[in-house]
Amino acid sequence: MPKLTVKNFGTFDIPCGKRLVLALVDEAGVDQLHACGGNARCTTCRVQFFMGEPDGMTEAEKSVLAARGLLGNASLRLSCQILCDHDMTVQAISRFEGSGRANAGNRPSEQITPPPVWTTR
């Protein structure tokens, strides 16, 4: 079972293969934003990696990070496009608290959406 360490929240056991955005909400209790419902469209589910950043990413994540000028930051990723299959240490940088939004967004599905096509940075 992978361990997820979230800065200022603690370390949690995460079911292998769970989406990071859901692990942040369900296991870590983070008020993580996911305004587009976890579909790699809005970048509100951003996290910063300190350890365990995956080598691969989905084409959807790569595309939206590039469009927003964020692809160059090697530690910045979209939690909705990452599966928890190894130990990771992250900081939740896009949180509901203080966002001014009415809610965090619709709950993302259990599977990565859109269906992942894997690539590299």
71-102: pLDDT as tens digits? 999 899 999 999 999 999 999 999 999 999 99
* pTM for the model: 0.97
Beta carbons within 10 angstroms of residue 113's beta carbon: 19
Q: Could you say which residues of the chain have pLDDT below 50? A: none
| Contact call for residues 47 and 77 (beta carbons, < 8 A) | yes
| Contact call for residues 57 and 121 (beta carbons, < 8 A) | yes
Task: State the number of CA atoms in the 13 A half-sphere of 15 facing the CB.
Answer: 9
Q: What is the pLDDT at residue 66?
A: 97
Q: What is the pLDDT at residue 110?
A: 98
Q: What is the pLDDT at residue 121?
A: 87
